[in-house]
């Protein structure tokens, strides 16, 4: 059961980020532009070309997850992206937060299976003397 949940979560997370990352470049899922502060924020990110980097990282991480290659690297790439997506929705567009929470849940399932590789990061003291 654990293995099936891991595979399903990895594939769904990979699809989610690959599709939405590609949508950032190809706009095949048209959406109305956000209004208010959310619109201003995304407008600034668009004009500065910051979104190009975000969409590229989403495509790369999504592809890695789907190919089941460098899954841990994909998790490292997606962690700050997910934090920013959730914070954006919490602060500026709370009505659209469910996909962000689904992404966090899927990421958590995949991370749980890979947690051993990340355990040295949680050590209270470093190895350097």
* Tens-place pLDDT, residues 21-76: 999 999 999 988 889 999 999 999 999 999 999 999 999 999 999 999 999 999 99
Q: Which residue is listed with tokens 């990340």? A: 118
Please report whether residue 37 resides in a domain. Answer: yes
Please report whether residue 119 resides in a domain. Answer: no
Please report whether residue 121 resides in a domain. Answer: no
Residue 128 confidence (pLDDT) = 72
Distance between CA atoms of 123 and 42, rounded to whole angstroms?
37
Dihedral of the CA atoms 86, 89, 90, 93 (nearest 10)?
180
Please report whether residue 118 resides in a domain. Answer: no
Domain that includes residue 8, residue range = 2-26+33-113
- Is residue 125 scored above 90 in pLDDT? no
Please report whether residue 120 resides in a domain. Answer: no
Residue 111 confidence (pLDDT) = 97
Please report whether residue 127 resides in a domain. Answer: no
Kindly report whether the global pTM for this prediction surpasses the value 0.85.
yes
| Number of domains the chain contains | 1
Q: Distances in Å between the alpha carbon of 22 and those of 44, 119, 123?
A: 20, 32, 37
Please report whether residue 15 resides in a domain. Answer: yes
């Amino acid at each position: 059961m654990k293995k099936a949940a891991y595979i399903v979560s990895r594939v769904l997370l990979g699809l989610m980020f690959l599709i939405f990352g590609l949508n950032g470049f190809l706009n095949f899922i048209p959406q109305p532009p956000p209004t208010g502060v959310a619109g201003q924020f995304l407008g600034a990110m668009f004009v500065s070309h910051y979104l190009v980097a975000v969409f590229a990282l989403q495509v790369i991480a999504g592809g890695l997850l789907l190919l089941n290659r460098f899954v841990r690297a994909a998790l490292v790439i997606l962690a700050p992206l997910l934090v920013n997506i959730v914070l954006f929705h919490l602060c500026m567009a709370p009505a659209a937060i469910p996909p962000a929470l689904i992404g966090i849940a899927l990421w958590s399932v995949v991370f749980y299976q890979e947690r051993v590789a990340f355990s040295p990061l949680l050590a209270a003291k470093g190895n350097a003397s």
